[in-house]
Amino acid sequence: MSTTTGDTTMTTHTDLGALATGAFIRIDDETVALQRVERIAAPRAATAALAGIPLTRITFERDGDREQRVYPTQMVVEQVAGR
């Protein structure tokens, strides 16, 4: 699924696990460049909220601060092209 936002920016909805370092995505209505994308093991504890769900850790810079977040690998994100 693709949509056009603005005059020249094209966005595509894709799974987080399909992205690589250098991709641009929208987080909290802000476009950020992924500095690192790591697939990490799924939690195995039966009591874990995400037990058995593969996870992806992303690293990006926003407002001069380096941030890391962990999301389910199959989470749909908005990838930004044309940057």
- 28: Cβ–Cβ under 8 A, 6 or more apart, which residues? none
Task: State both tokens at 50.
Answer: 């995400």
Q: What is the structure's pLDDT at 35?
A: 96
Task: Say which residue the tokens 């992205």 belong to.
Answer: 19
Domain range list for the chain: 2-81
Average pLDDT by consecutive 10-residue portion of the chain (83 residues)?
57 91 91 94 78 91 92 93 66
**pLDDT of 1:** 46
What confidence score (pLDDT) does residue 29 get? Answer: 87
Instruction: Please give the pLDDT value at position 21.
Output: 93
| Count of residues making up the chain | 83
Q: What pLDDT, on a 0 to 100 scale, did the predictor assign at position 36?
A: 96
Question: Which CATH number applies to 2-81: 2.30.30.30, 3.10.150.10, 3.40.50.970, 3.90.230.10?
Answer: 2.30.30.30
Per-residue confidence (pLDDT) for residue 82, from 0 to 100: 58
